[in-house]
Amino acid sequence: MLFLDLTVQGLVQGAIYALIALGLTLVYGLLRILHVAHAALFTLGGYLGVIITNQTGSFALALVVAMAAVGVIGIGVYRFAYKPLLAHPPLVALIASIGLFIASEEVFRLVFGPYGLSFTDPPLQTQVEILPGIFLSHARLMVIAIAVVFLGLLGWLSASTRTGIAWRATVADPDMARSFGIDVERVRYLNFFIGSALAAAAGVMVALLNNLVEPTMGAVPAYKALAIIVLGGLGSVRGTLVASLALGVIEAFGTIYIGHLLDRDAIAFAFLIIILMVRPQGLLARG
């Protein structure tokens, strides 16, 4: 029973990792940039979620607004931070991204205060017995629901719509796509919007699960999401998904059984190292 319980906990955590890491994988696949500042968008999403819920009393509204606003800001990050640097080696954009992330932590502290914010009346707290002896709060169920719904939508979008096909074409070969009349710039905007909106959703859900948003809450996702996309195979969406869920479950069991030896992050990275030693290209690498 504990075994099943831990697995479920791990999958919930994995779903959160998936929502964050997916945006990172999308940006890498498209532009070969390691978008470290993505974690700042995660944090911003969390803050907006808490502030809007506290002001209006509606969590649903907060989620929608946070996703939309952060999606647009994500486009802004591309437009003003990465686009001017595309002519240079990806390392330059990476440094800019890291700088942006570091600055964002302090901006959040200056704007929102150093103490962190909490919901005045957190929604979705009631427990549901989904399996005998295993209880999940509505909030945790919502994490799974959001992950399934959005990732499903994303899969449908990329496979079955004109926009999605244009997107995949741009990722595969931007010049060829351009010559077919695809507006590469619009595809990039869409890419950043979707990735950032997902990160914002993750931020809002994490805020709800912990009832706390802090300026530094993006610090761990910043590097862990990178580890996840490497683990899954750089640029592979399916790989990112598998790696996220696997990592969530490994951490859940690891923190209980070897927690006195290694802490959660050490366990995550030990797992990464072991997998990469056996399969250096990642779990489900493309091509």
CB of 11 vs other proteins, minimal distance in Å: 10
CB of 163 vs other proteins, minimal distance in Å: 35
CB of 149 vs other proteins, minimal distance in Å: 21
The pair of three-digit structure tokens given for residue 226, joined into one six-digit string: 């990178």
Distances (CA, A) of 163 to 3, 156, 174, 187, 253: 42, 11, 14, 8, 40
Give the residue, chosen from 62, 101, 255, 282, that forms a contact with other proteins under the rule CB under 8 A. 255
Stretch of 36-44, 184-192, 236-244, 246-254 contacting other proteins, by CB under 8 A? 246-254
Site residues for other proteins, window 95-124 (CB under 8 A)?
A: 106, 109, 114-116, 118, 122
Stretch of 88-96, 150-158, 235-243, 253-261 contacting other proteins, by CB under 8 A? 253-261
- Region of 118 on the Ramachandran plot (φ > 0 left; ψ -120 to 50 alpha; else beta): beta
CB of 266 vs other proteins, minimal distance in Å: 8
- From the number of C-beta atoms within 10 Å of its C-beta (0-12, 13-18, 19+), residue 71 rates as buried
Going by the DSSP 8-state scheme, the letter that residue 56 receives in this structure is: H
One-letter amino acid of 239: G
The pair of three-digit structure tokens given for residue 162, joined into one six-digit string: 């004109």
Quickly count: other Cβ atoms within 10 Å of residue 33's Cβ: 22
Residue 210 contacts other proteins per CB under 8 A: yes
CB of 212 vs other proteins, minimal distance in Å: 5
Number of residues that bind other proteins (CB under 8 A): 40
DSSP 237-251: HHHHHHHHHHHHHHH
> Which x/- pattern over 56-95 shows residues binding other proteins (rule: CB under 8 A)?
----------------------------------------
- 6/85 with CB nearer other proteins: 6
Residue 191 contacts other proteins per CB under 8 A: no
Is residue 213 a contact partner of residue 119, using CB atoms and an 8 Å limit?
Answer: no
Give the residue, chosen from 135, 160, 176, 279, that forms a contact with other proteins under the rule CB under 8 A. 135
CB of 134 vs other proteins, minimal distance in Å: 8
Is residue 110 a contact partner of residue 55, using CB atoms and an 8 Å limit?
Answer: no
- 115/180 with CB nearer other proteins: 115
- 91/103 with CB nearer other proteins: 103
- From the number of C-beta atoms within 10 Å of its C-beta (0-12, 13-18, 19+), residue 34 rates as buried
- 109/286 with CB nearer other proteins: 109
